Structure 1
Amino acid sequence: MGIHMSESSGLLTSYTSYNGKAETPATLAESADGCFRDDEKDETCSVDSEKRAHKGLSVGLATMFLLAEMAGAGLLNVPKAVANVGWGGLPLIVLLCLAVGFAGTRLGLCWVLLEERWPEYRAPCRRPYPAIARRALGKAGQIVAEVSMEVTLFGAATVYLMVSSQIINDLLGSLVPSLSQCSWTLILGAVLCPSTWFSTPKDFWGAPLFAMTATLLACLVVVVEVVLEKGEHDPPEFPAPTFNSFFLGFSSILFALGGSSIFPTIQNDMKNRAQFPESVVITFLSLLAIYLPLCAICYGILGTNGTPENIISAVSGPAVKVTQVFLLCHFLFAFSIVINPINQAIENYFNVPSDTFSVRRVVVRSSIMVMEVLVGFTIPDFSKILDLIGGSTVALMSFVLPPICYLRLSAVRGLDGLPLRVVPKWEVVALWVVVMVGVVGGVGSTWSALSTIISEQSFASSCFSPQTFL
């Protein structure tokens, strides 16, 4: 952690305020603007009258936001991921956590490099990840990053919708037995649709605290109930993993750790962006502290045969119902947050005014909601969508792009004609190892997820089947 901080701080030593006190580059954007510029401007970020506020997220609050976004739906599925991989899933979680965390710290340093070389990035940025990819890999890199982000967010929103409908069905199934999970998906989509027509509040400081409360409560309740109900479960079985099961578990773990697409956005809201690597380190250590005990206890007691796709389904009781209510509130709020950037991106593509409420906005955003419901109808099992996203776009944005962008940006020459940063050889090797793990694991996971989705059994469980819907 100290190494990350010293690396970040070293990039910022050339920035000093007029009174001699060291500050971050953002606080000096106004005075630095115009000192040195490239002819090519980045449309994703622009210097305008709205400068960065001197108040922003602290390291602790940024960590809270990261945990709230990452330890959500992945928490429910990660025990099944370990069950698919076997006991090797526990060290795999540690390995992938270290790899993604290391790549995440380098993604954070990418933004520090952007602020050092291009002053326009010291002002608020609407799409920071594509901005990093553009400066590192050109226009093609920006397009890849933007498409990957939108696909990831669309998949995550669909997962939240599916999990929410499953929770509602579990809570109200005995009261309204005539409605299935597919029916609740349709009802939930219709109810949520009007809320997507309006902009999502930007500053909801209680959201990450509530999300973390729900996550920790779910983890605690599941562990306690699994231990208490140990005698009620079948004897656990621990078969060797197959090729498909291993990579399905791999992709589920990636999804549970894959929050890199939002890293630059949260970093952009910090008062001192150079401190973001510290938040990343704390976040991944916290995730290990949550995931490892949960997976070890659940898999040890339930085995491969008794661990469901949604670990909440393995336990019952009043405490579980309360936990489900908390999780439902968390996922519904997360859905509204995640789907908003998708809406804005599609509106920008169709030139829909963002500052006024219009019929065109209603049509575009309602169409996106219809697409979410249709995908949910086609693949009602949220874990299959989770596996596909985890093995494809999440692997790309968490394993592949951060190391490559960091190495490319480090080689960019500064005002003195020298590279912005000389990367040690050990670090170059480590970063390329992370890239190779992401490529091999991502390809295998995507293949396994697609094979599962297009299987005959998957089509038989689609909501388009009358017996499934009813």
Structure 2
Amino acid sequence: MTTTPLIHRERGLTIPSTAVFIAGEIAGTGILALPRAVEDTGWAGLILIVLCAVLSAYTGIILGEAWTLAAELFEDCKGHVQNPYQILGQKTYGKAGRYAVSICLHITMFGGAVVFLLLAAENMETLVKALGHDISFCFWLLMIAGFLVPFTWFGTPKDFWLIAYGATIATASAAVIIVVSISLDAPKQISTQHQKADFKKIALALGTIVFALGGHPAFPTFQMDMKRQKDFKKAVSCGFIIVSLLYIPVTSAGYFVYGKSLNDNILTNLPTGGLSNAVLLLVTIHLLLAIVIVVSPVMQEVEMVLHVPRGFTWKRCVTRTLVVACILFMAETVPKFNSLLSLIGGSSLTMLDFICPILFHMKMHQLKAEADKPATQNKTLETVQASWDEQTNHIPLWRKVLNYEILAIGVLAGVAASVSAIINIVSPDSFSTPCYVNISRAAT
């Protein structure tokens, strides 16, 4: 694999622009789905969102640190790499690590794009219907996918940084309008009641929360495009602060005002009118732009496998158009988006967000210690022992304990959320006729 740097220093992403990319990729579906998720878990769900945001930021930071160590140890990790997360898996756990990351990444990013497309089509159907026209949800899927195709032909994140800013600004504007709209509607809600939480609902909600705060599959590609890759931890911290500032007000307002009347998509709870239509449009803009961001790592690896040139060619256009066609097919087939969201959040995204970053970080430190060990072979026994102790204690005890706790929580929560989502998807009331069977079907 070539390691020739593809990014000139002056063209690399800065800390603010990388933070905006992170926020633009993550924030969006959470604004729509988290209020209901909190209702399913109770008020403790608000604390759970903050906790998951902190843990996600932490694992994002150590994922960046793991890649920095890899770049120091391996020549083929220097410069720009098209599939950094997969390469990191290979450097730490061989082919098994690479294939595991690749499978999880494709499921997560591809599935996330499907969810975004479903939500965008549902929003457009609702918006146009409010304006007096009735266009099928299935037709909207076709039109939106066709609209997105040219935008997917851009190269790597540095080539479409304006899309990230557009997605973040659209989400921030939508969040403000949602809170204002809920505040205006609050006096009409005579009494707010909340339902009792049960294990299944909590498990599904946990998967939704993980999905809403998950962006790690694309993080290494963002780090690749930075001017200074070592500054990635600052960008991650800033990015999750932005996301939290968008999520918490909307989620709190929806939970305390609407309670158990909350729907899977909070936009359906808002009173109809100009504000509601504005939110629908802004959120849809975010979803469209976010699809371009989240699917980029998948497209880059597909191109690498097919040996598509890195420059702009007709082969790139054809390859990426086919990927969009596959996303469209899944969107035309898949049932309710909330179940798919919980399944992805509980399975592949949990692996990439919580489990892989910790395992790769700890293994990379071990490799670093082993690489430094030969330099001490000609020294005295006491010097060798002291040097080795220093290398093997590079990870503080508190971080080791935290890492193992996150691993345990990630595995248990991931299994619970995945099983609950699968049960929910295969249940009879979740079945939905595919669009290619009934093209005039409306959103469910």
TM-score by length of 1: 0.82
The question of whether the paired residues in 2 share the 8 Å contact of 1:182 and 1:380 is answered with: no
Aligned residue number for residue 9 of structure 1: none
Q: CA deviation at 1:187?
A: 3.2
Q: CA deviation at 1:436?
A: 1.0
Aligned residue number for residue 121 of structure 1: 77
Q: 410-419 vs 308-317, which deviates more?
A: 410-419
Q: 57-66 vs 190-199, which deviates more?
A: 190-199
Determine which of 318, 325, 332 is the counterpart of 1:370: 325
The question of whether the paired residues in 1 share the 8 Å contact of 2:25 and 2:215 is answered with: yes
Aligned residue number for residue 216 of structure 2: 260
1:208-357 superposed matches below 5 A: 208-233=164-189, 235-304=191-260, 306-315=261-270, 316-351=272-307, 355=311, 357=313
Tell me: CA distance 1:234–1:191, structure 2 relative to 1, closer, same or farther (3 Å).
farther
Tell me: CA distance 1:374–1:47, structure 2 relative to 1, closer, same or farther (3 Å).
closer
Q: 393-402 vs 218-227, which deviates more?
A: 218-227
Aligned residue number for residue 342 of structure 2: 387
The question of whether the paired residues in 2 share the 8 Å contact of 1:251 and 1:387 is answered with: yes
- Aligned partners of 2:439, 2:328: CA distance in 1, in Å? 18
The question of whether the paired residues in 1 share the 8 Å contact of 2:155 and 2:312 is answered with: no
The letter for the 2-side match of 1:75 is I
Q: CA deviation at 1:313?
A: 1.9
Secondary structure of the equivalent of 2:43?
coil
The letter for the 1-side match of 2:32 is L
Structure with greater helix share of residues: 2
- Aligned partners of 1:136, 1:89: CA distance in 2, in Å? 35
Aligned residue number for residue 383 of structure 2: none
Aligned residue number for residue 399 of structure 1: 354
Q: CA deviation at 1:107?
A: 0.9
The runs of 5 or more residues in structure 2 that have no matched partner are: 375-387
Secondary structure of the equivalent of 2:264?
coil
- Aligned partners of 2:392, 2:67: CA distance in 1, in Å? 12
Q: CA deviation at 1:141?
A: 0.5
Aligned residue number for residue 409 of structure 1: 364
Aligned residue number for residue 118 of structure 2: 162
Determine which of 127, 142, 151 is the counterpart of 1:186: 142
Aligned residue number for residue 96 of structure 1: 52
Secondary structure of the equivalent of 1:258?
coil
Q: 428-437 vs 278-287, which deviates more?
A: 278-287
- Aligned partners of 2:317, 2:238: CA distance in 1, in Å? 40
- Aligned partners of 2:49, 2:202: CA distance in 1, in Å? 13
- Aligned partners of 1:105, 1:361: CA distance in 2, in Å? 32
Higher relative contact order (CA 8 A, sep 6+): 2
1:454 aligns with 2:409: no
Q: CA deviation at 1:363?
A: 6.1
Root-mean-square deviation (CA, aligned residues, Å) is 2.6
Q: 169-178 vs 60-69, which deviates more?
A: 169-178
Aligned residue number for residue 34 of structure 2: 78
Tell me: CA distance 1:49–1:204, structure 2 relative to 1, closer, same or farther (3 Å).
closer
Q: CA deviation at 1:230?
A: 1.9
Deviations 1:235-265 (A, max 9, x none): 4321221211101110111011101112222
The letter for the 1-side match of 2:415 is V
Secondary structure of the equivalent of 2:9?
coil
Tell me: CA distance 1:265–1:458, structure 2 relative to 1, closer, same or farther (3 Å).
same
Determine which of 397, 411, 417 is the counterpart of 1:439: 411
1:148-159 superposed matches below 5 A: 148-159=104-115
Tell me: CA distance 1:405–1:446, structure 2 relative to 1, closer, same or farther (3 Å).
same
Tell me: CA distance 1:468–1:381, structure 2 relative to 1, closer, same or farther (3 Å).
farther
Deviations 1:29-67 (A, max 9, x none): xxxxxxxxxxxxxx4xx3326475265322222212111
Q: 82-91 vs 282-291, which deviates more?
A: 282-291
Q: CA deviation at 1:233?
A: 4.2
TM-score by length of 2: 0.87
Aligned residue number for residue 38 of structure 1: none
- Aligned partners of 2:351, 2:411: CA distance in 1, in Å? 8
Aligned residue number for residue 87 of structure 1: 43
The question of whether the paired residues in 2 share the 8 Å contact of 1:112 and 1:274 is answered with: yes
- Aligned partners of 2:228, 2:152: CA distance in 1, in Å? 32
- Aligned partners of 1:67, 1:454: CA distance in 2, in Å? 33
Q: CA deviation at 1:467?
A: 9.2
Q: CA deviation at 1:270?
A: 1.9
The question of whether the paired residues in 2 share the 8 Å contact of 1:410 and 1:421 is answered with: no
- Aligned partners of 1:348, 1:270: CA distance in 2, in Å? 21
- Aligned partners of 2:318, 2:227: CA distance in 1, in Å? 37
Q: CA deviation at 1:169?
A: 0.6
Deviations 1:371-398 (A, max 9, x none): 3223222224322221111111110001
Q: CA deviation at 1:213?
A: 1.5
